[in-house]
Structure formats: structure tokens, C-alpha cells
Amino acid sequence: MNAIHKAKRSYITRNVKLDNATQLLDIPPSAGDLLLCKVDKIRQHTRLEDIHGRRNHLYEGDTIIVVAAQRYATDQFCAELPTQQDTCHLVAAGGIAGHVIHRSGQVKAPTEITLLGVLGDQQGNTLNLSAFAPISKIPITQEDIPVLVIIGSDMNAGKTTTACACINGLTRQGIKTAGAKLTGTGAGPDYWRMHDAGANAVVDFLDAGHPSTIGLSNDNFLDLLQKFKSAAIAAHCQVLILEIADGILQPETRALINSSRFVQQITGAIVAADSATSAMMVTERITRANFPVYAISGLFSRSPIACQEVAQESGLPVFTASNLAKPTAIDYLYSALKQDYSRAHILAG
């Protein structure tokens, strides 16, 4: 169908074989369904990221291929699945279509789009992201790998910057490193950034067929993590850097950090925070949940005085992003990771 192949294709469809799409179905969209939409009114999102990371400018009247999903973003939109009746919105530049129910005062109203139909194949089946999950094909291994998790105070607290500094520093030391994003909304910048930092492998929930992770259970996340570990091991990586999106009060993140089964899969943690106070709050909260916290970083570390406050209060190393990538920090982190990984396996017998 020509209209589908002429449309601007969003980042979130990067694993999808669009040749399978031959018709538009007039049915209510489910989570993960691929949608053809028309851009009506451009507001907050003026561009759409494509599968190569280029952010295409949008024009009213453009047709776009996006995916139906919920979104939870404290500094942007909270959105439900789109329906055929309600106004449809572009709620993330990576290509998420939803219906906005809450908007942060920091952003404009969402870009309005019209749902033209759900993409279907020749047999009339909907095309859903869950059918395009490359990491599901990697055999699950019994081998394990040290996992350093990055946990943040909020959106835009510096989690990806922290994760990428670790990836870059470890890689420069000759340690093969995988980067992964366990939770969040499908978006390219973090994915590409981990590649740019030098990761030997990068995977995210999109590679397991999830457009976003809103509503996933702890079992879903444990399954995802196992797949990420297998992907990292298949790529001969020695360490997995795992980023968890949003802050620790976000419902899925909150449930995850309180899961002892999840904590047992993690070797160590770095906190990324936007202020000294939030850094301490997150550090204490996740220590109580039994995460070994190795260091603290994030947006607040741009202030030397804030760094001093956190270092004095926590007794832990506080690193700016640039210092985190240096051999001094990486030597310390890697030695702590190796020691705790080996200790955990001895205790597990």
C-alpha cells in the first residue's frame, strides 16, 4: 500500500519489517500496534525521529508511522492508549501515539494527529511491535555477567549521561561493555548515545517488542533483564550497564527497586540525581532495598558545593560525568563490581 510506504517512519519502528504491511485496518488500536496517522496541528513535538536517529521536521498534512502506547513522563505527558473516538496525540518524538490526560506546565500542548488506521498484513492481522523482537531470538544462557545499574531521582537527572560515562570509561580501559535501557518510552537518543559511548552491544525494551514499559510487571522486567544479559554475553561483553528510566517514585521503577528478586540480579548501583537532597534520598532508599551503591553522580555534580555536601553526607565517591569516565573512577568501579560479583556467587553457592 503506497500510503504506508510514503509515510515518515518513526524510530520506534526500527525493528519492524514494513513490507508486511499491506492494508489499513479500521479497528481500535492495542498497545504496540503500528499506526498510520496524519499530522493535524504541530505543537510540542515538531520533529519525528527516524529509524536512523535523524529528527525529521514535521509538516501539517504529513503521514507518519507510529506505535500505540501509554506514556508516563513527569516533565512531559501522561498518555493513555489512543482510541478511534478521542483526539490522538504524538506524545514522544520516537513515535508514540496516545491520548494525553496530563501535561506538565513545562511543555506545550501535544502535537495533534489523526488515526488513519492500524497497519495490517495480507491476512488482516495487525502489525504489532511484539512480533519484531530481535533479542527474543538470542538463546537464554545460564552464564551470568556483572550488572551496574543506574538509578535516578527523576527524569533529566543525568542517568543516561552517567551510564554513557561508565560505558565510555570501561570501554577505554579495554573492558567490553554492553549498555541497556530496562524501562521507559521508546526513544532513540539514549540508544544512540550508548552506541556513541563505545558500547559493544546496546539493547532496550524495544528490542524485546515493548514500545514503552508502562504497566509491565516485575516478572516482565526480570524476563527482559535475562534477555539483556544473554545479549550482552552473546556479544562477549564483561559488564552490563543498565539504565532505569524516570525517578524512583515512578510506579514501575518503585516496584522494581523493592523487588528482592531484581536486587539479586544486580551487582552494584550508581545514583544519578538532580540535586544534593535527592541524591541522598535515592541513595538511602536503594541502600535500604539492598543495592550496593558505589558512587553518586548526575546533574547536581555540576556544582562543586553540592558534590561536597553529598560526599560528606554519604561517604561515597561523587563523580562528575567527565570524572566518571576517567581511569581513577573506572578502576574503582570495576574492582568493586568484580569483588561483589564474585562474593555474591560464592554466597549463592
Q: Whose grid coordinates read 579495554? A: 174
**Radius of gyration, alpha carbons of the chain:** 21
Binds other proteins (CB under 8 A): choice among 317, 320, 321, 325: 317
3-state secondary structure of 8: strand
Polymer length of the chain: 349
Taking the C-alpha atoms of residue 167 and residue 274, their distance in angstroms, rounded to an integer, is 21
Which is closer to other proteins, CB of 298 or CB of 317? 317
What separation in angstroms does the CA of 186 have from each of 13, 61, 161, 347? 10, 24, 17, 37
Closest Cα to residue 245, out of 170, 329, 138, 162?
162
Q: Whose grid coordinates read 544473554? A: 230
Which is closer to other proteins, CB of 302 or CB of 343? 343
Touching other proteins, residues 208-227 (CB under 8 A): none
**255 scored as a contact of other proteins (CB under 8 A):** no
Which range in 26-34, 121-129, 205-213, 328-336 contacts other proteins by CB under 8 A?
Answer: 328-336
Which is closer to other proteins, CB of 198 or CB of 292? 292
**305 scored as a contact of other proteins (CB under 8 A):** no
Touching other proteins, residues 268-297 (CB under 8 A): 283-284, 287-288, 290-294
Largest CA distance in the chain: 64
Q: Angle at which helices 304-314 and 276-288 pack, to 10 degrees? A: 30
In the complex, the smallest distance separating the C-beta of residue 308 from other proteins, rounded to whole angstroms, is: 10
C-alpha cell at 68: 500505540
Taking the C-alpha atoms of residue 245 and residue 223, their distance in angstroms, rounded to an integer, is 17
**328 scored as a contact of other proteins (CB under 8 A):** yes
**327 scored as a contact of other proteins (CB under 8 A):** yes
**175 scored as a contact of other proteins (CB under 8 A):** no
Which is closer to other proteins, CB of 69 or CB of 273? 273
In the complex, the smallest distance separating the C-beta of residue 317 from other proteins, rounded to whole angstroms, is: 7
- Interface residues with other proteins (CB under 8 A) are 260, 263-264, 283-284, 287-288, 290-294, 312, 314-317, 327-328, 331-332, 334-336, 339-340, 343-344, 347-349
